[in-house]
Amino acid sequence: MFSDLKLGKIYDGMLYLAESVQNPQMARSHHHIELELNLVLRGTITYVVHGRRYTFSPRTLLWLFPGQEHQLVDRADNAQFYVAVFKPSLIKRACRTALYDGLTRTPPQTEGILNTLLKPGPMDLICKTMETLMQGSLDPDLLNREAGYGPDSDFHFEHRDPDCLNAGLHYLLVLCWRIYLAGESAAASISLHPVVRRALKLMGERDSERSLDELAKACGATKAHLSRTFHREVGVPWNRYRNSLRLSRFFEENEGEEKKTLAEAVYAAGFGSYAQFYKVFTQAYGRAPSSVLKKADMQG
């Protein structure tokens, strides 16, 4: 799925601090034209890329390249990580020597996720740079709820000092790449079983709402085998993953151009009732929907 981050012409990219308790998870597989950089501060985050699972721990710096399909399938409850994105135009201007050739190749030579575990010194330098660039940005709660989220969202990133942000993103890009080249890969990947890969693809379809039995039959497996293998390889039970997808769809429906009521968005996302949605939402974000959502009409 292509994701339009809707960055204004005045911006060369954007930066925000994602937190599990605030940030809606885009669970479906997606890609975008921008280069994405993540820096894990706390907890763990888990991606699936090209049929392989990667789990990243604190101090890990990782790269997701333009056009590279990726899927954030799980995050620890306390996960906190920076997300920076860089427009192709910035990369072209910033990377003019052979040292940065790896940032200009599209697609990258590797189909996996380039990553490195940072030493304390480089970690501190990058964090301080990111903290400085965040000054003048939008409210953290708003950024977590809205940044780059959903194909129909009307959200647009803003910063009070675009020139400072752009200059800082240029520096951040080349700094992080130099540090990455000097480091070593931090996370090993796990190749997913074909049954699990098929299940992820089917569950990611926009109108897909299969029971475990229906999903197993479509994947050519038994319920027990699919459930056990999915949990072991993806790292979360299939029903928890399904609920993450439903939450992802809910935010898309709730922010969409059709202006659905809350109840309509809940059912369109695949939830069987508002009570089920409320339970899943509060478990995921630790807060009631009314404290997170922009819409005030909680009755639909």
Q: What's the CA gap between 277 and 263, in Å, rounded?
A: 10
Q: What is the pTM of this model?
A: 0.83
Residue 114 lies in a domain: yes
Residue at a domain's end among 171, 189, 207? 189
Say whether both 182 and 86 belong to one domain. yes
Are the beta carbons of 171 and 277 closer than 8 angstroms?
Answer: no
Instruction: Please report the pLDDT score of residue 188 as a whole number.
Output: 77
Strands 52-56 and 114-117: unpaired
Residue 29 lies in a domain: yes
The single-letter code of the amino acid at 134 is: M
Strands 13-19 and 45-49: unpaired
Residue 6 lies in a domain: no
pLDDT, one tens digit for every residue, the chain (300 residues): 778 888 999 999 999 999 876 655 556 788 899 999 999 999 999 999 988 999 999 999 999 999 898 988 888 888 999 999 999 999 999 999 999 999 987 666 567 899 999 999 999 999 999 999 999 998 877 777 676 454 456 778 899 999 999 999 999 999 999 999 999 877 778 899 999 999 988 887 766 678 899 999 999 999 999 999 999 998 889 888 888 888 878 877 877 667 788 889 898 888 989 999 999 888 877 778 877 675 434 334
**Residue 269 belongs to what domain range?**
193-291
Residue at a domain's end among 189, 206, 235? 189
Distances (CA, A) of 284 to 4, 60, 119, 187, 240: 25, 24, 31, 25, 10
Say whether both 163 and 249 belong to one domain. no
Residue 1 lies in a domain: no
SS3 assignment, position 30: strand
Instruction: Please report the pLDDT score of residue 283 as a whole number.
Output: 80
Say whether both 283 and 149 belong to one domain. no
Instruction: Please report the pLDDT score of residue 161 as a whole number.
Output: 96
CB environment 236-265: b (16+ within 10 A), e (fewer): bebeebbbbbbbbbbbbbbbbeeebebbeb
Domain CATH code at residue 156: 2.60.120.280
Say whether both 100 and 176 belong to one domain. yes
Residue 5 lies in a domain: no
Say whether both 140 and 41 belong to one domain. yes
Say whether both 91 and 160 belong to one domain. yes
Say whether both 92 and 201 belong to one domain. no
Instruction: Please report the pLDDT score of residue 147 as a whole number.
Output: 61
Q: Which residues pair with 36 in a beta bridge?
A: 64, 85
Q: What's the CA gap between 276 and 213, in Å, rounded?
A: 20
Say whether both 177 and 213 belong to one domain. no
Residue 73 lies in a domain: yes
Residue 160 lies in a domain: yes
Instruction: Please report the pLDDT score of residue 216 as a whole number.
Output: 94
Q: What's the domain count of the chain? A: 2
Say whether both 157 and 203 belong to one domain. no
Domain CATH code at residue 239: 1.10.10.60
Distances (CA, A) of 149 to 5, 67, 244, 256, 300: 7, 17, 14, 11, 22
| CA-closest candidate to residue 122, choices 18, 39, 42, 35 | 39
Residue 112 lies in a domain: yes
Q: Counting beta carbons within 10 angstroms of the beta carbon of residue 220, is it exposed (0 to 12), middle (13 to 18) or buried (19 or more)? A: exposed
Instruction: Please report the pLDDT score of residue 186 as a whole number.
Output: 77
Instruction: Please report the pLDDT score of residue 60 as a whole number.
Output: 97
Residue at a domain's end among 189, 212, 244? 189
Sign of the C-alpha dihedral, residues 129, 135, 45, 286? positive
Say whether both 163 and 210 belong to one domain. no
Instruction: Please report the pLDDT score of residue 181 as a whole number.
Output: 95
Say whether both 53 and 169 belong to one domain. yes
Distances (CA, A) of 21 to 140, 195, 229, 234: 12, 31, 28, 21
Say whether both 58 and 176 belong to one domain. yes
Instruction: Please report the pLDDT score of residue 151 as a whole number.
Output: 46
Q: Counting beta carbons within 10 angstroms of the beta carbon of residue 196, is it exposed (0 to 12), middle (13 to 18) or buried (19 or more)? A: buried
